[in-house]
Structure formats: structure tokens, C-alpha cells
């Protein structure tokens, strides 16, 4: 296979042996009834992804035991984890929702989450956090947190915080604002103390642009003073991340259901190296600093996702997590595996997945957060 093009169809999810999977051409037994986990009548024309409930049960799989993390009911859109197991979570995405940055300790998961105090001049009522990224200054032992803020959907800014590990507080250092390239920022990948790549997922009307397939998104680079658009005509670019050495950039194209690998040039322009179709509305990307592998969350069904995104966010939507193995210093993806799939009854609206040792956190757009034990770590 050409290394430029790696398809998710080359892998199959590991099915639970307790689930009997029938062939679609096999005649149904006369005594067949809906299994207990399925509500009847089903709230949709047919259970996702096939019009046969017995096949849906076989498609659901997870790496081990999973449970919802208490204390989150307005989303966990993006998550970043430090080497010591502390995870930062953006919660409260959307207008008129309580925006917060939460902290979760992988080493003490039973404690759940806690909201971090923010010190500085920031409108806490309008605070609407979205994507985030960590920048570590190893020379001075400082931790910076960059957070996209929609400010009640009135203007786009990027907030730069310093995290004090002793007091567990965030100190606002700078607000990047009033830049014409800040259109509707979804995610960012920090490259220095004041520089970062970021994605503008759409131009003005997200639902209309998505339904019509209009490629009006872009990727830009902020050099510390102003932004420069470097990739254009993209169909809903979403998550963006860089390799541990910063030489390669990974971009999730939600509308195109694929992930692109780029080589970073000296002038911060990006050169396409590889395309990986994932057959999913891909969202955020997490890079394992130790191995360089990627974890990419996605949404299995566009129509069900739209229903889930509509207030009061009670509809279900399929969730997926992929693990992408990288090689040659992160320059290419060598293997793809779906490590989690659920039709939405256990967990809906998956946006991000991060791993720490034998645990994995999965975040959602508007609802809760899932913690899974990795059985085959």
C-alpha cells in the first residue's frame, strides 16, 4: 500500500465475544425480539448504523471498563494532559452556558474534576472555552495553557494562562484578540510562547455551509504579532496538533472525514505528506508525547450529531475513538485502529480522547465525560 494513503477500512473493531453477530442475509429466527438495551419503539427510523438491531450491539466495543466521570454535565470539549497525569478540560461550550476550565488527576481518578480559579481580567460570564493546548517551558519549569474563547459568541480570542501547580490556579497573562484571521477558531497547536497554528472551521453560517459542502474553512499561523492564513478552501477543519518534535502538523478535516499529515517548513508554511481517510467526522487530535501515536475522536453519523448539538442536547449520537500509530519520527501514519465505538447510548458527541498509562478520557461537546480502563495496555 502507498504510505501516502492509509485507509481505516484496513482495520476492524474488536467485537465482544458475548455478542452474536448475524449475517445480513441470514434469515431472522421467528422468536427474535429486540434485546433489552434497546428502547422500543426506537427513537430513530432505525438503529445506527444498520437497520438491524442485532448488528448494532456487535459494533459497540471499548478497551475495557468505562464509567462516566461525575461533576460534568455541560461538556468536556477538549482535554490536554501533562506528563504527571494532570488533565485540563474545557467545559461549557456554547452561548448561555457556564464556561470553565476543569482539572482531572489521572493518578486520583476517584476525586473527579474540580474547576480551576482564574486570576486576571476576564469576563467569566461570557467565557466560552473551546480548544486548548499546553506549552511547557522546561528551562524555567513553567506551564502555559492556551485556550480558545468565543466570549459569548461575540468575538474570538485566545487566552494565555500560566498554571501554578502548587495553588492549582490559572493566571491570565495575555489575550490575543482583534486579529482579522480570527474568524471562528476551533482548535490550536502551540509552537512557542506566543505562536500557534489554529483552525477556522467555517466562515459565518455553519449549518448552511456544512449541508451545502462549502469549503470555507482555513488554517492560519499566529507569529506573536499577527495571523497569517496558510491553508485555504478546507471543508470544516477541526482539530490540529503537532508532533512531539514540532516538525510535523496533523489536521483533522471533519467535513472530509480524514486526517492530513503536513511537514512544517522554516517559514511555518505546511507541505502535505499524507492523507488518512477515517470514515468519521473527525474532531480533536491528541498526541502521545512518549510514543508519538495519535488519538482522534470522531462522530459516526452527521444527522444524529446535528440532533445532539441542538438544545437541550438530549439526543444520542455515535462516538468513535481511533488510535493512529506513527513512524519515522511522526512523519507518517503506519496503522489505524478503532479503539472505542458506541452508538450513543453509553456516550454521545465524542470530541477528544487522551490516554495516561492504562486510563483513557473521552470528552464530549455538550454533555459529559467518560473514563475507560485500557485492558490491553
Instruction: Kindly report the three-state secondary structure assignment for every residue of the chain.
Output: CCCCECCHHHCCCCCCCCCCCCCCCCCCCCCCCCCCCCCCCCCCCCCCCCCCHHHHHHHCECCCCEEECCCCCCCCCEEEECCCCEEEEEECCCCCCCCEEEEEECCCHHHCEEECEEECCCCCCCCCEEEEEEEEECCCCEEEEEEEECHHHCCCEEEEEEEECCCCEEEEEEEECCCCCCCCEEEEEECCCCCEEEEECCCCCHHHHHHCCCCCEEEEEECCCCEEEEEEEECCEEEEEECCCCCEEEEEECCCCEEEEEEECCCCCEEEEEEEECCCEEEEEEECCCCCCEEEEEECCHHHHHHHHCCCCCCCCCEEEEEEEEEHHHCEEEEEEEEEEECCCCCCCEEEEEEECCEEEEEECCCCEEEEECCCC
Instruction: List the binding residues.
Output: 77-78, 132, 186-187, 238, 283-284
Q: Which residues are catalytic?
A: 130
Instruction: List the binding residues for Ca(2+).
Output: 77-78, 132, 186-187, 238, 283-284
Amino acid at each position: 500500500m502507498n504510505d501516502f494513503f492509509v485507509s481505516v477500512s484496513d482495520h476492524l473493531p474488536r467485537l465482544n465475544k458475548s455478542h452474536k453477530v448475524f449475517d445480513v442475509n441470514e434469515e431472522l429466527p421467528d422468536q427474535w425480539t429486540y434485546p433489552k438495551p434497546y428502547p422500543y419503539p426506537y427513537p430513530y427510523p432505525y438503529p445506527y448504523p444498520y437497520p438491524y438491531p442485532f448488528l448494532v450491539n456487535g459494533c459497540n466495543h471499548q478497551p475495557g471498563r468505562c464509567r462516566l466521570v461525575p461533576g460534568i454535565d455541560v461538556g468536556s470539549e477538549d482535554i490536554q494532559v501533562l506528563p504527571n497525569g494532570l488533565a485540563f478540560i474545557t467545559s461549557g461550550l456554547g452561548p448561555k452556558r457556564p464556561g470553565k476550565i476543569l482539572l482531572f488527576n489521572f493518578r486520583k481518578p476517584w476525586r473527579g474534576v474540580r474547576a480551576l480559579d482564574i486570576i486576571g481580567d476576564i469576563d467569566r460570564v461570557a467565557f466560552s472555552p473551546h480548544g486548548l493546548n499546553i506549552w511547557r517551558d522546561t528551562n524555567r519549569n513553567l506551564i502555559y495553557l492556551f485556550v480558545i474563547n468565543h466570549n459569548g459568541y461575540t468575538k474570538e480570542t485566545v487566552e494565555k494562562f500560566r498554571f501554578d501547580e502548587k495553588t492549582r490556579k490559572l493566571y491570565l497573562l495575555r489575550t490575543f484578540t482583534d486579529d482579522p484571521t480570527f474568524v471562528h477558531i476551533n482548535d490550536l497547536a502551540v509552537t512557542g510562547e506566543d505562536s500557534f497554528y489554529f483552525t477556522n472551521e467555517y466562515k459565518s453560517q455553519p449549518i448552511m455551509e456544512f449541508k451545502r459542502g462549502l469549503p470555507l474553512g482555513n488554517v492560519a499561523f499566529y507569529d506573536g504579532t499577527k495571523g497569517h492564513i496558510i491553508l485555504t478552501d478546507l471543508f470544516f477543519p477541526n482539530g490540529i496538533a503537532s508532533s512531539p518534535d514540532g516538525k510535523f502538523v496533523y489536521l483533522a478535516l471533519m467535513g472530509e472525514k480524514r486526517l492530513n499529515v503536513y511537514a512544517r517548513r522554516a517559514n511555518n508554511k505546511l507541505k502535505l505528506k499524507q492523507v488518512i481517510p477515517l470514515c468519521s467526522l473527525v474532531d480533536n487530535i491528541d498526541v502521545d508525547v512518549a510514543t508519538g501515536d495519535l488519538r482522534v475522536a470522531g462522530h459516526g453519523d452527521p444527522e444524529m450529531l446535528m440532533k445532539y448539538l441542538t438544545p437541550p442536547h438530549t439526543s444520542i449520537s455515535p462516538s468513535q475513538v481511533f488510535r493512529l500509530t506513527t513512524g519515522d519520527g511522526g512523519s507518517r501514519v503506519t496503522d489505524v485502529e478503532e479503539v472505542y465505538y458506541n452508538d450513543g447510548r453509553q456516550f454521545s458527541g465524542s470530541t477528544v480522547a487522551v490516554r495516561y498509562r492504562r486510563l483513557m478520557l473521552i470528552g464530549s461537546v455538550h454533555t459529559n465525560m467518560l473514563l475507560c480502563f485500557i485492558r490491553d495496555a
